[in-house]
Amino acid sequence: MASDKTIILITGGNTGIGLEAVKALCKTDTPYEIIIGCRTVSKGEAAIESLKKEIPQSPSTLSVVQVDLESDSSLEKAVETISSKYGRLDVLINNGGASFDADIRDGKMTLREGFNATWNTNVAGTQVLTTLAMPLLLKSADPRLMFVTSGTSTLTETERSDNPNLARINTSPPAGWPKPSGGMQLTAYRSSKTGLNMLMREWHRILVNDGVKIWCISPGFLATGLGGIGAEKLKQMGARDPSLGGIFIKDVVQGKRDQDVGKVIRVNMIQPW
């Protein structure tokens, strides 16, 4: 059935920054149809029950659809479900992603397995879903497409180590091989997010004459569960509360960064390439 509400699909919306974005949208006075896409439907349903208790007066409607970024059939079924129920999609937030660098480091995955899994989820799966959803987005009066990237993806800033966060990821190890295995291992993750930035640029090029507003969202160093480091450990390293990332995404949905389409955006600036 058609809906007068803005229809939003957010992948990975049951946890982390995705859940915080759903929460931020639900707290506004604007009514949304928010579709949480996640691998395990029961986890999405549990997130919805929690949100309804936390924000009982929200004007928004919540539902869940199974989205496995490693499965084309899952993505096809998700888009079919949205098409049959709503007939269009106003906002696609490609938030779902994964990091397997720690699994490579710990020997749980081979180097090839870890890289392939990272790119398959963060880039290839996102591209498949976006392509499948495009006919629905183009039926919107104000289509918006977002890719959640990372501050670690910028090529320009790989040359910087002038603050603790940049020093942590950019400082070179001592000479010799093998290199120390401790610390943050982000090579596969960073590479995939840099690739995601180019994917955004390609979609911007392809759709610039179709009126689709497109961004990469770089939410900053936030204390999420990504990478298996743990929220508390990340906070000790200077990570901020994930709710700030959710508010940022909500602001982009609501038009506060429309002047920066086609860019990788941070809360208060455009991220350098």
What residues are annotated to the active site? 150, 189, 193
- Tell me how far apart the alpha carbons of residues 45 and 13 are, in angstroms, rounded to a whole number: 11
> Which amino acid is it at 260?
D
- Residue 20, judged by CB atoms within 10 A of its CB (0-12, 13-18, 19+), counts as buried
**Coil/strand/helix, residue 6:** strand
Q: Which two tokens stand for residue 175?
A: 């000479």
- Residue 233, judged by CB atoms within 10 A of its CB (0-12, 13-18, 19+), counts as exposed
